[in-house]
Structure 1
Amino acid sequence: MLPKRSRLHTAHEFRAVTRQGRRAGSATLVAHLLVDPDGGPRRAGFVVSRAVGNSVVRNRVRRRLRHLVREHLSVLPDSGMLVVRALPASAAATSVQLEADLLKAIGRVTS
């Protein structure tokens, strides 16, 4: 679980990151990154739509992604806001594949 201060909370934050941030995709997910000009801690949020699967599958994917992002949150720039959008292929992906795709996407948006 991500600590409360490390989570995106409002729709305004999600919208700002997805519209103004840098984007990089992979087979299982899309990562959006925006560095907050006002500063603040590194934060992350997740978007898992119904296209991924039913509620059980969506929640499982969200938990797996949250666990992976928690481990790699320090890779983000200071005051970076990350939104990870799961694609339907993420439901059948292994944790190793999800982690590889996440790191690849984060590497692209931070460079």
Structure 2
Amino acid sequence: MLPKAHRLTNSEDFRRTVRSGQRSVTPTVVVHSAFDGGDDPARFGVTVSKSVGGSVVRHRVARQIRHGILGRLADVPSGSRWVIRALPAAGARASGGAPSPGTDVQAGIDLAMRGAGR
């Protein structure tokens, strides 16, 4: 579970991040990021649609994504906003032997930070 200070909870924050931020794509997730600066902690939101699978699969994918976020929480800049959207391929990878969506989240965050020159 992400600490409350690191969660995106407002739909307007989700919308602004997706529309005005930059995007990084991996095989199982799309990582939207916006770097506003400031001293606020980095905040994350996770979106897993029904196209990923049934409720059990969606919740497993969301847990794996949150676990991947926790692995990079100390590395992301303060004041940034992130929305992680699972792609349908995430459902197949969540229970298989292939790298989990959490691994792809970490790669997507790295791509976004490299693209922003951070």
TM-score above 0.5? yes
1:75 partner SS: coil
Shift of 1:109: 1.1
1:107 maps to a residue whose letter is D
Shift of 1:68: 1.3
2:77 partner SS: coil
Shift of 1:96: 3.4
Identity of aligned residues (%): 38
2:61 maps to a residue whose letter is V
1:75 aligns with 2:78: no
Alignment partners' CA distance in 2, 1:61 and 1:97: 8
1:41 partner SS: coil
Alignment partners' CA distance in 2, 1:87 and 1:69: 16
In structure 1, list runs of 5 or more residues that go unmatched.
Answer: none
Shift of 1:37: 4.6
Could you say which residue in structure 1 is the equivalent of 2:26?
Answer: 26
Shift of 1:36: 2.6
Segment drifting more, 28-37 vs 93-102: 93-102
Structure 2 length-normalised TM: 0.85
Segment drifting more, 77-86 vs 33-42: 33-42
Shift of 1:71: 1.7
Q: Which runs of 4+ in 1 moved over 4 A?
A: none
Shift of 1:17: 0.5
Could you say which residue in structure 2 is the equivalent of 1:102?
Answer: 105
Shift of 1:99: 3.7
Aligned length in residues: 111
Aligned-residue Cα RMSD (Å) equals 1.6
1:42 aligns with 2:45: no
In structure 2, list runs of 5 or more residues that go unmatched.
Answer: none
CA gap 1:13/1:36 in 2 versus in 1, 3 angstroms = same
| Aligned positions of 1:54-93 closer than 5 A | 54-93=54-93
Q: Residues 37-89 of structure 1, C-alpha deviation per residue, up to 9 Å, x if partnerless?
A: 55411111101011001111111110111111012112211211111000011
Segment drifting more, 96-105 vs 53-62: 96-105
